[in-house]
Structure 1
Amino acid sequence: MNKFELTEENYYSSEASQHYMSVSLFKDFMQCEAAALATMKGEWQREETTALSVGNYVHSYFESKEAHQKFIADKGSALMTKPNKKEPYGHLKSDFKTADAMINALKDETVFKALYEPGQKEVIVTGDIYGYKWKGKIDSLNLDQLYFCDLKTVDDIHKKHWSSTYNKYDNFIADRGYYMQMAVYIELIKQTFGVGCQPFIFAVSKQTPPDKEAIDFNGDQDAIYMEDAMRMIEENQEHIQRVMSGEEEPTRCEHCEYCRLTKKIELPIHASDIEIY
């Protein structure tokens, strides 16, 4: 097999996913192995949601002027309403007007400017985690000051989310697997550059007006959550790798978009046995 070289151009490709595990791919496998495997092989792809497009719109602005202009050019009419007599070119859709408000909420914040802006943007890092190759891409990395930042767009920073793992409500950091992401990034930066870096998340909400927050991971409970996340990787990664290599069949969750799309009716089920989620 030819050696695969990870680059900016192929980072998000299905081929890269076959050579490198990532936090997003690992989380996909934990949610539905069948959907994750089909995505990894390039056999199926989720349609990009408006929420994801809004997040990418905001991210591209803080990456560089060039990246933001490229995003706008690539999306083109998808960002605009349909033309009409009064507006022959349409106007920016409300979701992206919200995205502009989110950008404005962050860009002049002193702490954001001091921490996020100086770092190198979209830095690829790689390494070995429990015997397998992993990749990550850091939103803003400051090796001189030994920290990195990740930018997150959320519906509501303070919304509660039920955790079946801990049997309690938790915040969006735990719900979205960001403890795992930060723990993995710390390890990959260490292996790539030989230094330990402190993580920060800058969160901005889609509310009117947007809420915003700078978040560190220095609390005692934060350390426990990150240790738990790395333990989850250690306990599940070997099985996931066997599924990826074809040694084991993927498990279907039977309720995600992919499973609904590929589902085949076999025998009738009892009315009282209908699963609820």
Structure 2
Amino acid sequence: MTEKTQKTYSKIKLTSSNYYSNEANWQYQSVSIFKNFMKCEAAALAELKGEWQPERDQTPLLVGNYLHSYFESKEAHQDFLNEHGTEILAQAGKNKGKPKKDYQVGDAMIKSLADDETFVNLYQGQKEVIVKGQIDGINWMGKLDCFPDNHKYFADLKTTQDLHKKYWLSDQSRYGTFIEAYDYPIQMAVYQELIRQQYGAEATPLIVAVTKQDPPDKAIISIEQPILDFWLEQVKEMQGHIQAVKNGEAVPTHCGHCDYCRATKKLTGVVDMQTLLIS
């Protein structure tokens, strides 16, 4: 059973310029913030409040944005190049002025998709479309990579190491795909629901995955509707407590293992060595 939360309506008008802002993240729930709370409520809340900034390698994110901007529009890609030129191009050495290795991989991924007729035909329509709605009274927002005019599907670009790499899913005690490991079914389920509310359409989510291998591998991947339905119900079950934590109405739990938990940990006494095996 979820905790009772107040139904509030957001006043901010979402745009491409404020979608990733802290203000938007306070007024709307998003999949990325939601997944952060799933991992560690204490760390997610501290980051949202500006009290904690985790150290992250920004290169994978930037390479992903490099890929996304290319297929968004020529203008969007040029804007990205203008803003991140120093990160993209080597600034010294024999390769000065040339793209760094990670962006050479990005170029290979772009070429792999751009030269593929099936992808080109699929990836037609509006790009970076903001969708919003309410799930059981809680405000949600999302951004669609590609949304065709017929609203029959939406496509989401993902980069990954290897399409066939197996990931250990500790909560299920089994191996799974990268799609399960990164909780992409949650994103697809939420976006499908927001499209249903905003457009009255039953859109099928399609993940367009391209790998960082040389040469890249690629696939268009669907997720069975019962899985999407399951995760939408899970979101409904979990979101009340998460919203209560965001609102200061519930105390956040600590996962005990992340950077934030280790950095803020206080010794409380002696523990039995067997407890070290409990994850």
TM-score, length basis structure 2: 0.89
1:61 lines up with 2:63 in the alignment:
no
- The 8 Å contact of residues 10 and 28 in structure 2, kept in 1 or not, is answered as no
Q: Structure 1: how far apart are the matches of 2:16 and 2:60?
A: 23
Gapped regions of structure 1 (runs ≥ 5): none
Q: How far apart, CA to CA, are the structure 2 residues paired with 1:2 and 1:131? A: 11
2:238 maps to which residue? 236
| Alpha carbons 2:169, 2:176 under 8 Å: kept | yes
Unaligned runs of 5+ in 2: 1-8
Corresponding position: 1:98 with 2:100: no
Output the CA distance in 2 between the equivalents of 1:267 and 1:80.
51
State whether residues 147 and 155 of structure 2, in contact with CA within 8 Å, keep that contact through their aligned partners in structure 1.
Answer: yes
Distance 1:44 1:72, change over 3 A: farther
Once superposed, what is the RMSD of the aligned Cα atoms? 2.1
Q: 1:154 to 1:276 in 2, by over 3 A?
A: farther
Give the partner amino acid of 1:60.
Answer: S
Alignment match of 2:183 (pick from 174, 177, 191) = 177
Question: Does the CA-based 8 Å contact 2:10-2:27 persist in structure 1?
Answer: no
C-alpha spacing 1:209/1:182, structure 2 compared with 1 (3 Å)? same
User: Which structure carries more relative contact order (alpha carbon 8 Å, separation 6+)?
Assistant: 2
Q: 1:161 aligns with which of 143, 163, 167?
A: 167
CA contact (8 A) 1:121 1:140 kept: yes
Tell me the equivalent position of 2:221: 215
Q: Give the drift of 1:165.
A: 4.0
Q: Distance in 2 between matches of 1:142 and 1:171?
A: 27
Question: How far 1:271 moved relative to its partner?
Answer: 5.0
Q: 1:200 to 1:271 in 2, by over 3 A?
A: same
The aligned length equals: 270
In 2, distance between residues paired with 1:2 and 1:130? Answer: 15
SS in 2 for 1:21: coil
Which moves more between the two structures, 62-71 or 128-137?
62-71
How much has 1:39 moved relative to structure 2?
2.2
Identity %: 49
Task: For 1:63 and 1:42, locate their aligned partners in 2 and report how far apart those are by CA, in whole Å.
Answer: 31
Tell me which residue corresponds to 2:259. Answer: 257
2:135 is aligned to 129
Offset of residue 227 of structure 1: 2.1
Shift of 1:276: 6.6
Q: Structure 1-normalised TM-score? A: 0.90
Q: Secondary structure at the match of 2:209?
A: strand
